[in-house]
Structure 1
Amino acid sequence: MKKMILRKTISKEAIKEMPRTSFPGNIYVIQSAIEAEKAIAYLQTQPIVGIDSETRPSFTKGHIHKVALLQVSSIDQCFLFRLNITGLTQPIIDLLEDPGIIKVGLSLKDDFMMLHKRAPFIQQSCIDLQDYVRPFGIQDKSLQKIYGILFEEKISKSQRLSNWEADVLTDGQKQYAAIDAWACLNIYNLLQELKRTGNYEVAADIKEEEKNLIISDK
């Protein structure tokens, strides 16, 4: 099998040319404590999950909203916990504190800082992809760029600044939220497989004049 060549970095221009990725599984919007309990019961059967969170953007200086949404995804099921409606319930806290379930995300320090403002808990068994990708030679730190390097697909960011406390989440918001958690899991699973097989190599640095040529060609 041909070795996978891992780029160290990727340009925004290169990502724009890639096909857009989409979440292929089922998305469940969780808006009650009972729904949260059922969702967590399923997620606790998974050894590894992807996680992310969304907060309503504030356009007023000094005003910050509490985290509105927590996304937790298996490979084919994603649950969107509407924390602005339910709060951070005990079953969700139990999942975050469970040492037997690996939680994979990106820039997790920021996510947990926001979640801790809703309730105290001690997260366990967490993997931050910004640290995890370094041994593979990947220098980019954004989810969009890491995913582009590994899968040659584009994660759309068009919904990032939408209202995550809206009465009803749009289909676009649900897709965006699910993809961010699911993509983290996809990245981790692929890197684990590459680590196991050793079937990859880090791309050589591109000379400066070649970089300029590539940019001018576009």
Structure 2
Amino acid sequence: MTQIIPKHLIKDMPSIAYTGKTIIVTNAEDAEIASEELMQEDIFGFDTETKPVFVSGKSNSIAIIQIASSEKVYIFHVKRFPIKGKFKEFLESPKYLKVGVAIRDDVKKIYKYHKVQTEASFDLTVLSKERGILEAGLRTLTARVFGRKISKRQQLSNWDNFPLSESQIIYAATDAWLCRELYFELQNCKP
């Protein structure tokens, strides 16, 4: 693998998006059920989205947490309910590996706004650098590993919206799903 991929090459690649089952979780009761389902596995794609702020020094709390299992992507709309019970247990457990790009920032925000210490988080940039990929954003990793591009059009949308738009759901689900897929693919690459 070469180390850098030019942006103009990414632009010309075919698109990739998650097309599997997506579960939108909007209350604590459904979060309990979803968390019990998640606890049947042990490796997950993980990402968060936050309503953007265009004022220096300000930030918003996390609006959604996306978690991809082998069969589904769960989108937890945490602006609508507290993180507690099985969902909190899932996030805090070292038993469940959560993989993402720049996941440390997500973990910090979850703690800052929800006082939940997310354990067993793994940053894909560590694995990608071991494989000689220096530019390690999700878009670049997807292009490098799968030869596909992901849309970032929804990145700066209003994630506090309820309900989320279809394009927001696809964007959010794709990010979490790709984190999980990239983890397995990068594990199989020789350094």
Sort the TM-score into its range (normalised by shorter chain).
over 0.9
* Partners of 2:34 and 2:143 in 1: CA distance: 30
CA contact (8 A) 1:87 1:118 kept: no
CA contact (8 A) 2:48 2:66 kept: yes
CA contact (8 A) 1:15 1:154 kept: yes
CA contact (8 A) 1:97 1:123 kept: yes
Q: 2:102 aligns with which of 83, 102, 107?
A: 107
For the pair 1:165 / 2:149, whether they are aligned, the reply is no
Matches within 5 A, 1:66-81: 66-81=61-76
What secondary structure does 1:87 align onto? Answer: coil
CA contact (8 A) 1:75 1:186 kept: no
* Partners of 1:192 and 1:157 in 2: CA distance: 25
What secondary structure does 1:104 align onto? Answer: strand
CA contact (8 A) 1:102 1:125 kept: yes
CA contact (8 A) 1:33 1:89 kept: yes
Q: 1:191 aligns with which of 166, 178, 186?
A: 186
Deviation at 1:100, TM superposition (A): 1.6
CA contact (8 A) 1:88 1:118 kept: no
Deviation at 1:28, TM superposition (A): 1.0
CA contact (8 A) 1:24 1:76 kept: no
Matches within 5 A, 1:40-189: 40-189=35-184
**Structure 1 unaligned regions, length at least 5:** 1-5, 202-218
- State how many pairs are aligned: 191
What secondary structure does 1:116 align onto? Answer: helix
What secondary structure does 1:114 align onto? Answer: helix
Q: 1:36 aligns with which of 15, 28, 31?
A: 31
* Partners of 1:112 and 1:86 in 2: CA distance: 18
RMSD of aligned alpha carbons: 1.4
Measured against aligned partners, the alpha-carbon deviations of 1:66-85 in whole angstroms (never above 9, x if no partner) come to 11000001133001000110
Say which is worse superposed, 169-178 or 109-118, in terms of deviation: 109-118
Check 1:38–1:19 CA distance in 2 against 1; reply closer, same or farther (3 A cut): same
Q: Which amino acid aligns with 1:56?
A: K
**Structure 2 unaligned regions, length at least 5:** none
Percentage identity across aligned positions?
31
TM-score, with structure 1 as normaliser: 0.83
Deviation at 1:116, TM superposition (A): 0.9
* Partners of 2:52 and 2:172 in 1: CA distance: 15
* Partners of 1:134 and 1:85 in 2: CA distance: 37
For the pair 1:7 / 2:13, whether they are aligned, the reply is no
* Partners of 1:59 and 1:147 in 2: CA distance: 28
What secondary structure does 2:65 align onto? Answer: strand
Deviation at 1:59, TM superposition (A): 2.5
